[in-house]
Amino acid sequence: MTETLQGVEPVQPRTIAVVGGGQAAGWVIKTLRKESFGGRLVMVADEIHAPYERPPLSKAVLSGDATVDSVALVKPDDLKALNVECWQPDRAIEIDRDRHLLRTAEGRELQYDRLIVATGGAARRLQGSQGATKNLAYLRTIDDAVRLGARLRDMKHLLVIGGGWIGLEVAATARKLGVDVTVVEGAPRLCARTVPPLVSAFLADLHREHGVQLHIGAGLYSLEDHPDDSRRVLAKLEGGRCIDADFAVAGIGLVPHTALAEAAGLPVQDGIVVDEYGATEDPSIFACGDVANHMNAWLGRRVRLESWANAQNQAIATAKAAIGILEPYAEIPWFWSDQYDVNLQILGDVPVESMPVVRGNMDEKRASMFFLRDDLIRGVVAINAARDLKLARKWMNQGRKVDKEVLMDTTIPLA
Ligand SMILES: Cc1cc2nc3c(=O)[nH]c(=O)nc-3n(C[C@H](O)[C@H](O)[C@H](O)COP(=O)(O)OP(=O)(O)OC[C@H]3O[C@@H](n4cnc5c(N)ncnc54)[C@H](O)[C@@H]3O)c2cc1C
């Protein structure tokens, strides 16, 4: 795919269109101007807010400790100063690749030289009788978070459908606000797609310790208005158990917004297919962030990442590539989650069915798990152990061999 980029005419693009108004779009805009792109820059975004960061939505925004302003990545005044035309709220609905034309739902048309798609994704919806109630919310936007935060202050019992990262963070924040919480997860363990059983067990203990009722390995049969009070919900689980609650939140994954690219005939495979420069097979179209499926040099395979670090750093590499500065995006994937007094970070390749080398004590909520291959660290899960993770990242980048016994021995400092 690098040849694709070599096919890009060396002339500076005059007009760059950015579709999406999230974190990746924000970093594209900032980077283009930082790298002295002086042409026309248009951002088409369907939310009304200037680009903002989403990690606080399930944490500080929900608990009332952060606001729309405090999570902003680019403030409206910055957009003016950067001379960005914001078509907002508007939605890109069609890319005419032959004519280099972008069309929007408001009937606008834009002739682009480069187009960068940073459309992220939407919260996956419960289908049919599993989501047959109005007392159910999803969490993807700041408006969702503000609405849900207000609801949390006005309820006694929240039902969370989905024991993944967002569901668990919502559960932790709701507990902080004094709300009773029940979590229903259909898989046999929590966060099963991203961490090994040891970490799932740790998370289950953590939430039980904070009074959360967990139903793990419990498929949801139906979720409906409560028959006795339509302002409440009633969940029926496979197997017959019933749970009633004041309100429900579902955190059951993300559906990437690929329709625009797909309709334009661009390859899509769990995300828009791009190379290490964010380039699609069309030399004038790029993609980055949650919507992009890129070839990751560290993992040695294609991956679509849903993480803050990827939304920032892949966007920076993509913006540069769009104006001819070729710096491959080759970062080790990194993600974090905050729940109660636990900061959990995941770095690199973490095989979900493996037994890591453990340093520290999980019961004391301070431990690092190292996933080794041929004495090299391939992945890390760090629980309240940010320093270990930082060091491991350095060694991973250096390709430095490690001694398993030393890693496990907390009397020997890692540094
Ligand atoms: C609640 C929550 C908590 C999170 N916590 C963490 C965390 O703790 N750690 C971590 O590493 N990551 C976390 N993440 C993930 C991280 O926030 C995302 O990876 C990041 O926001 C992705 O940015 P993006 O710009 O690619 O996509 P998005 O942020 O989804 O932005 C895409 C934007 O494009 C808009 N759009 C879509 N289609 C169109 C169209 N056709 N026309 C115009 N606009 C369009 C969308 O409405 C949206 O505003 C969290 C995410 C959420 C939702």
Q: What is the CATH number of the domain that holds 177?
A: 3.50.50.60
Q: Which of the 8 DSSP states describes residue 255?
A: E
Q: Are 22 and 55 in contact (CB under 8 A)?
A: no
Ligand 1 centroid to 123 CA: how many Å?
10
**pLDDT at residue 364 greater than cutoff 60:** yes
Q: What pLDDT score does 350 carry?
A: 95
pLDDT digits (tens, 9 = 90+) for 154-201: 999 999 999 999 999 999 999 999 999 999 999 999 999 999 999 999
Q: Which atom of ligand 1 is nearest to the CA of 57?
A: 1
Is residue 335 situated within a structural domain?
no
Q: 284, 292, 288: which is closest to 268 by C-alpha? A: 292
pLDDT level of residue 344 (50, 70, 90 thresholds): very high
Tally of CB atoms within 10 A around 209: 10
Q: Which of the 8 DSSP states describes residue 106?
A: T
Q: What pLDDT score does 386 carry?
A: 97
Q: What pLDDT score does 1 carry?
A: 39
Residue nearest to atom 9 of ligand 1 (CA): 336
Single out the residue in 232, 252, 272 at which a domain terminates. 252
Burial (CB count <10 Å: 0-12, 13-18, 19+), residue 124: middle
If asked whether residues 136 and 285 sit together in one domain, one would say: no
Please calculate the CA angle 192-23-36 and round it to the nearest 5 degrees.
Answer: 140
β-pairing, 92-96 vs 285-287, is unpaired
β-pairing, 292-296 vs 213-216, is unpaired
Please work out whether the CB of residue 119 comes within 6 Å of at least one atom of ligand 1.
Answer: yes
Q: What pLDDT score does 55 carry?
A: 98
Average pLDDT, the chain: 95
pLDDT digits (tens, 9 = 90+) for 224-268: 999 999 999 999 999 999 999 999 999 999 999 999 999 999 999
Ligand 1 centroid to 398 CA: how many Å?
31
pLDDT mean over 60-67 = 96
Q: What pLDDT score does 5 carry?
A: 52
pLDDT mean over 198-214 = 98
Please work out whether the CB of residue 118 comes within 6 Å of at least one atom of ligand 1.
Answer: yes
| Token code pair at residue 309 | 């670090």
pTM, two decimals, is 0.96
Is residue 196 situated within a structural domain?
yes
Domain that holds residue 18: 2-122+255-322
If asked whether residues 247 and 261 sit together in one domain, one would say: no
Q: 127, 134, 131, 86: which is closest to 110 by C-alpha? A: 86
Ligand 1 centroid to 54 CA: how many Å?
6
Ligand 1 centroid to 211 CA: how many Å?
30
Q: What pLDDT score does 7 carry?
A: 52
Ligand 1 centroid to 225 CA: how many Å?
30
pLDDT level of residue 2 (50, 70, 90 thresholds): very low
If asked whether residues 167 and 228 sit together in one domain, one would say: yes
- Amino acid at site 380: V
Please work out whether the CB of residue 331 comes within 6 Å of at least one atom of ligand 1.
Answer: no
Residue 21's φ and ψ, nearest 5 degrees, are -135, 30
Report helix, strand or coil for 84. Answer: strand
pLDDT mean over 103-115 = 98
Please work out whether the CB of residue 24 comes within 6 Å of at least one atom of ligand 1.
Answer: yes
**pLDDT at residue 373 greater than cutoff 50:** yes
**pLDDT at residue 3 greater than cutoff 90:** no
Q: What pLDDT score does 6 carry?
A: 52
Pairwise CA distance, residues 413 & 409, whole Å: 8
Q: Which atom of ligand 1 is nearest to the CA of 141?
A: 53
Please work out whether the CB of residue 144 comes within 6 Å of at least one atom of ligand 1.
Answer: no
**pLDDT at residue 360 greater than cutoff 80:** yes
Single out the residue in 207, 229, 252 at which a domain terminates. 252
pLDDT mean over 309-319 = 98
Total domain count, the chain: 3
Single out the residue in 273, 291, 322 at which a domain terminates. 322
